Structure 1
Amino acid sequence: MTDPRRWLAAALTVLLWSIAAPAWAIDYEVFIDVDDEDELFDLYVSEQITESTYLTLVDLLRRGTDLDEATREDLYALPNLTYADADRILAYREEAGHINDPAALVAAGVLDERVLASIAVFITVGAEELRKAPVSGFVQYQTIWTVNDQRAPPMVLQARINTLRHMTLGMAGRLNRSRLGPASWDPNRGAIVAVPERVRPELIKAFIQWDTKKWGVIAGSYRIGFGQRLTFDNTGRYTPNGFVLDDAYYRRVQLSRLCRESAGELAEAPCDDTEYVTPDYRYRQSLLGVAAGAKHIDVGRGWMQAYGFFSYQPRDIYQNYVYDRGTCDDPENREDEGCSAVGLYKRQDDPLAPTSKYKYQTIPNAFALLVGGANVSWFDDRRSHVGVTGYGAAPRWMIGGADLDFVPSTILPYGGAFGAVGADASWGHRWADVSAEFSRSFDNQNGLGGGYAAILRHNATWDVHEIEVSGRFYDENYNNPFARPIAAADQSAGLRASDEAGVRVRYNALLAKQVIMRAFLDVWTNVSAARPKLKTYAHVDWYANKWLRPGLWVDIQDRDTRDSDGPEAYCDAGDQGRTGGGEAVDDSPDPIDDPVTGPEFEDDEPITAVTCTGERYSLTGRVRVQAHRRVALTLQYRHDFTEDTDYPGSVRHDANGYFMISTRPIDPLRIRGRVRFYDDDLQNNLNLERSVWMFVDVSYKVARWLVPRVRYDFIQRLDERPSTLTRDPSPEHWVWFELESRF
């Protein structure tokens, strides 16, 4: 569309303007106003927020933020809050001593009433009393049933206990039906064989933590990150500083393929691949080991902090991400069949008997990842600091008999050990906050390799306006799987924070105390080859009065802003829809718990296929009506105009609309329902997904210690693709049950 030199000049102009202009804070795509985790899930499946936003907010909601102990960065991570809001909360807390009643923040003019109401579900109320109690915590049980699934239903149990004021213990376990058993190398086949899947209980998370304002230690499952997330981070926080506990799990509303076997050495496949069953509960692999930190070491002027962390964790890996170095001299040579992914076969009692071959499966405990690192920082005040972070990691393959390694497109570097070291700094005064980080990665790809990366962010708040401007440069050889900085959604060799240079601007404002505006502009290109890309949006929501809230959103994405001589196509991994109708979504690794390419290393929307160069324009209209103080209605419709090679000279029309009602007839009873229509191609019923999805959700708070919930989902696919016509069951019926007790 534009000459690359003109694009680069425009980007530099934006960056230079931004450095001199006021700038802003975190953006979660929309103004977050939810009552519980399920409403967050609805925002995600209706594509109002991205997956990384959903995962981050779920984590914040489950963990809770204590206003009496939260740091500036903890408060900044909460939705709808700015740095200015965080500073006012901290100033009020310092003056008052405690924040026992969050409503006092409104009375004191610290927060707007609407903003406080929106973060209420994310903060802990009455935390002082809970800390004084001998024991507090919660236990939560969930299970899901779908029609035609004859196996024991998937289920999950989560528990967390707080005691001795500073100690927290937690665990999460699941009943897993789809994970393969032990895997080993078969020298006769030159491939991996694995025991078939069966129902198995599995402890997925467990930890014990002791955390005070001065120091903390955690053993078990945890996440940790620092600075601008460029050197090391897997927390999901926008500005992490230290470790956080991890006991999170997630559910899916996508049926899983029951048969994941092809014929292999048999005459035909041993099962029917058109049958779908209930998916197992999912989780993100984090770190497993020990982390400790001294948070506040007085040094005269300011203070120091020092963290160290260690992890040794067996990990699963998707079967297409492993190759045999014994048959491959150059893993980058795609023409060499010896460099293809190793086969994965079903283990038989007779090792010489013909057997089937697995597809779309994950190899259990394929390797263990050893990780060790540290951070040391000096703080002049809570807004200004300098720090150094470094880590090293080494994979150890647990399947003997072959020299296995990661394929080049996997997020983990092949060749052995890897790591990174970096320095970060921040400075804040009045309305401005400036942050930067520089990092150098190291790996053994083609000898001692690695590359450089840098990021600069500028934030400020004035009056009712906020802006954030950032510039980033990630060398094409910067191979750091634990880097989660600001980056576009496309990948380079499995990594997002690699082979990219760009400028991002975000703006939001509360105008006339009624209009919430969010605007976004991101322009970037590959470092290795000029290919300018663009993503921008403007979202406006108007609080017209106490009962009416209309909104209008415009989104534009262009995968290559240069002119093209032929038809172009816009595509990303999300084109099949969030109900899992397309084979690409169902058969590829789950974006939530994929052990190598999941969002524990990623940030933002679905990954874009690198061959896509087209455009997509989206127009969304929505309205929320508070019909009664106990009844809320929401209506939303989005229309996409998408470039597609099937429509040369025109565009593909996509539609996504839903209607939702939420009501509380009496205080302890909540009823929610939604109807959604989704169509990825209005002009053609044979190409992509077309579906209707309805649910009803009922919960009743018997007491604090007993809250049962039940939800029924109905999903009907309306398109006429061969995969849809042969799919079983159709329609889908889901029943989800939860029982929660807090004490």
Structure 2
Amino acid sequence: MRRVLSLWLPWLLGCWLCRALPVHAAPYEVEPEVSGELDLLALAEEGAISRETLAALLALRRAGVDPRLATRATLYGLPGLTYADVDVLLRARMRRRDAGGRATKHGRARASGAAGSDSPGGLTEEEERRLASFLVRREPGLSGDARLLMAFAASDPLLPPVALQVRAGGLAGMRAGVLLSLARRRLGPLQRDERRRALVVEAPGPAVLLPKLYAHWTGERASVLAGTYRLGFGQRLTLDTTALPSPEGFLPDDGVRPPGALERECLVGGTGCEPEERLSDVTPDFAWDEGFRGLVGTVRGPVGTGAELSLTGFGSYQLRSLARHAVLDRSACVDSRGGCRAPDVLVPLSGSRVEKLTARTLPGVFQEWAGGGNATLSLSPRAQVGVTGWAARPVWSPEGARLDFQPSARYPAGGGFGAVGLDAAWGRGAVDLFFEGTRSFDVAPDGGGGFGAVQRTVLSGARHEVELALRYYGRDFANPYSGATSGPDTLEGLRVRNELGARVRYLQRAEGAWRVRGQVDAWTLPADGAVPGTAGTAHLRASARADWLVWPRFQPSLQVELRDSGLGTGGACSGEAEVDASQEGTSPCSSGRYGVVARVRSEVADGVTVAVQYGHARVEAPDAEGPRYDGQAVLDVRLRPAESVKLGARVVWKDEDLSERRRLRQELRAAVDAGWAAFERVTARARYAWVLDLKDASVARVPPDPPRHLFHLELETRF
């Protein structure tokens, strides 16, 4: 039966997608109607969006989009907007400028006959409501915001972790931002103990950290930033740390991630902790991505008639953390190809006692010097060509240690690495073409660099959009700062490597009536990876979703998905897949997943929305005796009793194997959240979550976790 599905279902689904003539706007699985970061995290937790979508939406929300000023690529990054929609917005903006800034009478009108909008950004009322959490309105004069974040569990024996974000600016084109964090269990710097001939760190303890700080000046033809930033260009193949679908340079970086699941309080093995510390769980500290830190600037100016040249240069000095298992000690193991165990890290305790560190991540393991730039010649808003290049070199922090990267690390071993690439874009009418080709380079013993290429063709109309994306990444294409699309397979810590694939996305809709979206993504491994014999292994992912939007009180949707690894090889597992806890819910070697999700959303009354969802999936794994069946149910209730008050409740039941209750994830999660705009510019938000482990204690391989009570608090003020 599985072989029949593997052979026929992809073909039938592909035929249906071609007949639908359709694809997606920016690559998001859903058009989220959210009001905060915790809502996005909840969508990722239940599998509605992938980790890539979560990262992009969080970055987009933090950066903010002003539809009156945003470029075509930035507007396209907003959920639900196609290139056709964006071009209508830009034409309306141009008409308003030609009219001397006066809003035109007609505004924006869609081909579907929808009424226009008189909003300065040109968005319809429904779009402004749906995208409210991503939109900003930057006015002249001093403005800013501050957010105080806190998270804790009822079982925490420590003070809760705290993060503070502050942004301000608006005078003379200057803006500044800072991120402060209180960490309760911060490890000390990694050092080399010559007497013990081992790596050591100071015992974990409290610390006040300043991980993000920037000052940003923007002028008419230039922009300069000193501090922390993200950077990306083209099709994200040569360089991208922004996570945005269409990056166009640099962004200030002051982002922070709320704590996730609870973890053990004790970070030291043996007798390094008191008995109660070894058994108790605590809320993790706040976390953040380590982007670039240094100086970056862009200048632009006209070239000839109608063309514009943009030049961007950057330099970075960043102290980077590294997973403990990704560290290689050259003094103990010269040839890493034979398999070298990660070195133990010791923690000196009272007296002369030492114990092994059990924490997964080591802060400040190496210093990275990086620099490069981009030059882009824009012949028109839809035609441009650019070149990007960068290089980096790691310098290991512990003096006297001969450290390097393990083969499983995302960084090439041996020393410096980098990439150089060429990108181009052209569009006319309903068609847009994009291309980027890149050559990576490194000094790894078995590397030296390789080639990668991405090509996208987008056909965008009034009611549908189709995208075909082709990609090739060579076996030696080792680029740790590539954000290009790829499958979940990893080779030596990198997803954008050893892959030949094609992806089709679609979106087709009738305004206010229905919407259909989906994608088919197929790829193969051109060469052997970490496991010999994986060359030629084929993988397939496909999904489709239909929403009926005619009646607000009854809006059903249906989604089907197909994931298959090892097509034509009897379901062999490549052993290279990366676990995606936000979406997969399966082991890395799962060879098949076939699921369906049914959802009904209803606007019961003004300010009252209820959504009910159930998903069922069949999962096949090569190491299992037979298939297993997963189930997930969601009940979501949203209330707005007053303009200044938002209330919500969410119940999620998840079972990763309906036939037994002894090993995989089986839990019930209930959450209640509230938001209150106490004053015109002050907002308080709170969320309480209760998590119950449903595994049977009498037969479970690992004792089920006790009930957990989790709290998130947020206070935000704007000025």
TM-score of the two chains, using structure 1 as the length reference? 0.87
Distance 2:344 2:695 in 1: 34
Q: Match of 2:631?
A: 655
Matched, 1:192 2:169: no
* Residue of structure 2 aligned with 1:306, choices 301, 308, 311: 311
Per-residue CA distance 1:598-643 (angstroms, 9 max, x = gap): xxxxxxx669976x25100111011111001111111111111101
How far 1:365 moved relative to its partner?
1.2
* Residue of structure 2 aligned with 1:323, choices 313, 322, 328: 328
Q: Match of 1:340?
A: 341
Distance 1:60 1:191 in 2: 43
Matched, 1:217 2:218: no
The residue type paired with residue 683 of structure 1 is S
- Contact kept, 8 Å, 1:175 with 1:200, in 2: the verdict is yes
Do the aligned partners of residues 440 and 49 (structure 1) sit closer, same or farther apart at CA in structure 2, a change above 3 Å counting? same
* Residue of structure 2 aligned with 1:686, choices 642, 662, 666: 662
- Contact kept, 8 Å, 2:554 with 2:603, in 1: the verdict is yes
Cα root mean square deviation, aligned: 2.9
Matched, 1:254 2:261: yes
Q: Match of 1:590?
A: none
Equivalent residue runs for 1:395-434 within 5 Å: 395-434=394-433
Matched, 1:542 2:548: yes
How many residues were matched structurally?
A: 691
- Contact kept, 8 Å, 1:418 with 1:443, in 2: the verdict is yes
SS of the aligned residue for 1:53 comes to helix
Q: Match of 2:298?
A: 293
- Contact kept, 8 Å, 2:572 with 2:591, in 1: the verdict is no
Q: Match of 2:127?
A: 115
- Contact kept, 8 Å, 1:490 with 1:609, in 2: the verdict is no
Q: Match of 1:394?
A: 393
Matched, 1:179 2:156: no
- Contact kept, 8 Å, 1:570 with 1:616, in 2: the verdict is no
Q: Match of 1:630?
A: 607
Do the aligned partners of residues 211 and 439 (structure 1) sit closer, same or farther apart at CA in structure 2, a change above 3 Å counting? same
Distance 1:663 1:255 in 2: 29
Per-residue CA distance 1:548-607 (angstroms, 9 max, x = gap): 211100011001112428999998624xx66xxxxxxxxxxxxxxxxxxxxxxxxxx669
* Residue of structure 2 aligned with 1:695, choices 649, 658, 671: 671
Per-residue CA distance 1:161-183 (angstroms, 9 max, x = gap): 02215221111111111221122
Matched, 1:281 2:286: yes
How far 1:735 moved relative to its partner?
2.4
Q: Match of 1:589?
A: none
Q: Which has the higher contact order (CA 8 A, sep 6+)?
A: 1
Distance 2:518 2:71 in 1: 27
SS of the aligned residue for 1:554 comes to strand
Per-residue CA distance 1:94-119 (angstroms, 9 max, x = gap): 11025989995465376555334322
Do the aligned partners of residues 570 and 539 (structure 1) sit closer, same or farther apart at CA in structure 2, a change above 3 Å counting? farther
The residue type paired with residue 674 of structure 1 is R
- Contact kept, 8 Å, 1:542 with 1:551, in 2: the verdict is yes
How far 1:57 moved relative to its partner?
1.0
Do the aligned partners of residues 271 and 412 (structure 1) sit closer, same or farther apart at CA in structure 2, a change above 3 Å counting? farther
Per-residue CA distance 1:138-159 (angstroms, 9 max, x = gap): 1111112212212111111111
| Structure 2 segments unaligned to the other structure (5+ residues) | 110-114, 528-534
The residue type paired with residue 321 of structure 1 is A
Deviation larger for 690-699 or 114-123: 114-123
- Contact kept, 8 Å, 1:570 with 1:643, in 2: the verdict is no
Q: Match of 1:559?
A: 565
How far 1:411 moved relative to its partner?
0.4
* Residue of structure 1 aligned with 2:251, choices 244, 247, 256: 244
SS of the aligned residue for 1:156 comes to strand
- Contact kept, 8 Å, 2:693 with 2:704, in 1: the verdict is no
Equivalent residue runs for 1:57-136 within 5 Å: 57-97=57-97, 98=101, 105=108, 107-108=115-116, 113-125=125-137, 127=138, 130-131=139-140, 133=141, 135-136=142-143
SS of the aligned residue for 2:62 comes to helix
- Contact kept, 8 Å, 1:180 with 1:195, in 2: the verdict is yes
SS of the aligned residue for 1:124 comes to coil
Q: Match of 2:532?
A: none
How far 1:63 moved relative to its partner?
2.0
Deviation larger for 56-65 or 417-426: 56-65
How far 1:41 moved relative to its partner?
2.5
Do the aligned partners of residues 567 and 202 (structure 1) sit closer, same or farther apart at CA in structure 2, a change above 3 Å counting? closer
Q: Match of 1:621?
A: 598
Equivalent residue runs for 1:724-735 within 5 Å: 726=703, 730-735=706-711
Distance 1:554 1:344 in 2: 46
Do the aligned partners of residues 171 and 104 (structure 1) sit closer, same or farther apart at CA in structure 2, a change above 3 Å counting? farther
Do the aligned partners of residues 570 and 537 (structure 1) sit closer, same or farther apart at CA in structure 2, a change above 3 Å counting? farther
Q: Match of 1:234?
A: 241
Matched, 1:155 2:132: no
Deviation larger for 294-303 or 709-718: 294-303
How far 1:708 moved relative to its partner?
1.7
SS of the aligned residue for 1:74 comes to helix
Do the aligned partners of residues 224 and 509 (structure 1) sit closer, same or farther apart at CA in structure 2, a change above 3 Å counting? same
Distance 2:618 2:587 in 1: 18
Distance 1:527 1:674 in 2: 44
Deviation larger for 291-300 or 435-444: 291-300
- Contact kept, 8 Å, 1:509 with 1:516, in 2: the verdict is yes
Q: Match of 1:503?
A: 502
Q: Match of 2:483?
A: 484
Distance 1:675 1:24 in 2: 30
SS of the aligned residue for 2:86 comes to helix
Distance 2:343 2:260 in 1: 31
Distance 1:116 1:216 in 2: 29
Matched, 1:472 2:471: yes
- Contact kept, 8 Å, 2:426 with 2:433, in 1: the verdict is yes
- Contact kept, 8 Å, 1:206 with 1:221, in 2: the verdict is yes
SS of the aligned residue for 1:152 comes to coil
Q: Match of 2:31?
A: 31
| Structure 1 segments unaligned to the other structure (5+ residues) | 579-604
- Contact kept, 8 Å, 1:67 with 1:99, in 2: the verdict is no
The residue type paired with residue 282 of structure 1 is A
Deviation larger for 452-461 or 269-278: 269-278
Do the aligned partners of residues 548 and 113 (structure 1) sit closer, same or farther apart at CA in structure 2, a change above 3 Å counting? farther
Identity over aligned residues, as a percent? Answer: 31
SS of the aligned residue for 1:114 comes to helix
SS of the aligned residue for 2:679 comes to coil
* Residue of structure 1 aligned with 2:641, choices 661, 665, 672: 665
How far 1:326 moved relative to its partner?
2.0
The residue type paired with residue 259 of structure 2 is R
Q: Match of 1:598?
A: none
How far 1:35 moved relative to its partner?
3.1
How far 1:281 moved relative to its partner?
1.2
The residue type paired with residue 291 of structure 1 is V
Distance 1:480 1:674 in 2: 40
Per-residue CA distance 1:236-269 (angstroms, 9 max, x = gap): 1111111011111111341121122223xx6999
TM-score of the two chains, using structure 2 as the length reference? 0.90
Per-residue CA distance 1:704-734 (angstroms, 9 max, x = gap): 3321222211111111368886566x21112
The residue type paired with residue 676 of structure 1 is V
The residue type paired with residue 592 of structure 2 is E
How far 1:123 moved relative to its partner?
1.5
Distance 1:568 1:439 in 2: 26
